[in-house]
Amino acid sequence: MYAQMVKSAGTGVKSREEMTDQERDFQDKIDADIKIEPRDWMPDDYRATLIRQMGQHAHSEIVGQLPEGNWITRAPTLERKAILLAKVQDEAGHGLYLYSAAETLGVTRDELTEMLLDGRMKYSSIFNYPTLNWADIGAVGWLVDGAAIMNQVPLQRTSYGPYSRAMIRICKEESFHQRQGYDAIRKMAEGTVAQKKMAQDALNRLWYPSLMMFGPSDKDSVHSAQSMAWKIKINTNDELRQKFVDQTVPQIKFLGLDLPDDAIVWNEETSQHDYTDPDWNEFFDVIKGNGPCNVDRLAARNKAWDDGAWVREGLMVHAQKKAAAKLAAE
């Protein structure tokens, strides 16, 4: 999940009696699965929460280019290099759709970017972990895109029209990424001793960070309840995490890799896998900025932005000159 711990604005779900007429009409539309469009009236808190959530999602796509970009120049074959380039290009495209969708709520891409760069807004904790061997690229596609899909498939039904449409477009590409990632790691799991070691190492390192992507348990959170009532969150974090574990464990076995957690076992009673929860202290450390790559990631994005200032300014001034010349010619 690319949006973690997004705090809904406001004080929690209101009862129908507490709602104004406008709020009641709005909630009725959502309950009837009628999409909210940019020009429709919406509560300020709904708007603010969506901006946080979509912005965080967009930022994750952008920062997510970095750990994968780390291997583009070292991809082992031309085909793998092409696949990775295409994937990273898609991720930047996802960032673009999501920023555009967020802009319909009255915030600009530049404003959102500034908030990412100065740390006011977050991106998914997963991208603060390093990619250390080539199998990590397979594992990122398989596990990270896989976890993102778990969250984003239900969000195709989210109440906000532009967000829902962005999710539909993005989900198609994400499932493609996941298959390609799985294919890359399968090739390694079936490969030489060294390749198998890389695959196992990638799985072991990225397993818990992938589980953290869904965020800590939120079954008792007021924020979650409000987001769910607004249908900008469809499932609880625990539901999605469990689904992810249940989907992924058979895939790990199929690859012939060792399970990254000794406690993983099929539970006949619950008809799902038991597993060990990630270390939430580590998660909160990462969120606070103390993950292995937080400083590098933000520094890289800040450097790209600062170094690129003259380019953005140059192109803008040129566009203004062109517009003025066109006006003068009319």
Partner 1 sequence: MANVDQQALFQFLLRMGDNTLVLGHRVSEWCGHAPVLEEDIALANTALDLIGQTQFWLGLAGEVEGKGQDADALAFRRDVWDFRNFLICEMPNGDFGQTLMRQFLFDAWASVTLAHLQKSSDERVAGIAAKASKEVAYHLERSSDTIVGLGDGTAESHDRMQAALEYLWPYVGEMFASDDVDANMVAAGIATDPAGLRGEFDAIITRVLTQATLNIPQSTFAHKGGRDGSIHTEHLGHLLTSMQWLQRVYPDASW
Q: Which residue's entry shows tokens 């010349």?
A: 325
Binding to partner 1 in span 156-175, by CB under 8 A: none
Residue 177, binding choice from partner 1, Fe ion, none, Cβ under 5 to 8 Å by partner class: Fe ion
Quickly list DSSP for 94-111: HHHHHHHHHHTTT--HHH
Is residue 287 within 8 Å of residue 127, measured between CB atoms? no
Q: Which is nearer to Fe ion, 57 or 273 (CB)?
A: 57
Q: Which of 38, 93, 161, 292 binds partner 1 (CB under 8 A)?
A: 93
Q: Which is nearer to partner 1, 34 or 317 (CB)?
A: 317
Q: Which of 85, 225, 228, 259 binds partner 1 (CB under 8 A)?
A: 85
Kind of pairing, strands 272-274 and 265-267? antiparallel
Is residue 80 within the footprint of partner 1 (CB under 8 A)?
Answer: yes
Kindly state the tokens that stand for 218: 């939120």
Residue 192, binding choice from Fe ion, partner 1, none, Cβ under 5 to 8 Å by partner class: partner 1
- Shortest spacing between CB 239 and Fe ion, in angstroms: 21
Q: Which is nearer to Fe ion, 143 or 252 (CB)?
A: 143
Is residue 42 within 8 Å of residue 26, measured between CB atoms? yes
| Strand ranges for the chain from DSSP E | 265-267, 272-274
Distance CA 125, CA 89 (A): 21
Is residue 313 within the footprint of partner 1 (CB under 8 A)?
Answer: yes
- Shortest spacing between CB 121 and partner 1, in angstroms: 16
Is residue 76 within the footprint of partner 1 (CB under 8 A)?
Answer: yes
Residue 69, binding choice from Fe ion, partner 1, none, Cβ under 5 to 8 Å by partner class: partner 1
Pick from 324, 151, 117: nearest CA to 233: 151
Residues that bind Fe ion (CB under 5 A): 61, 91, 94, 145, 148, 174, 177
Pick from 11, 50, 95: nearest CA to 231: 50
Residue 93, binding choice from Fe ion, partner 1, none, Cβ under 5 to 8 Å by partner class: partner 1
Distance CA 284, CA 288 (A): 6
Provide the phi-psi class of 119: left if phi over 0, else alpha when psi is between -120 and 50, else beta.
left
Is residue 195 within the footprint of partner 1 (CB under 8 A)?
Answer: yes
Instruction: Identify the DSSP state of 82.
Output: H
Instruction: Identify the DSSP state of 235.
Output: S
Q: Which is nearer to partner 1, 250 or 308 (CB)?
A: 308
Name the residues that contact partner 1, by CB under 8 A. 62, 65-66, 68-69, 72-82, 85-86, 88-89, 92-93, 95-96, 99, 109, 134, 184, 187-188, 191-192, 194-195, 300, 303-305, 307-319, 321
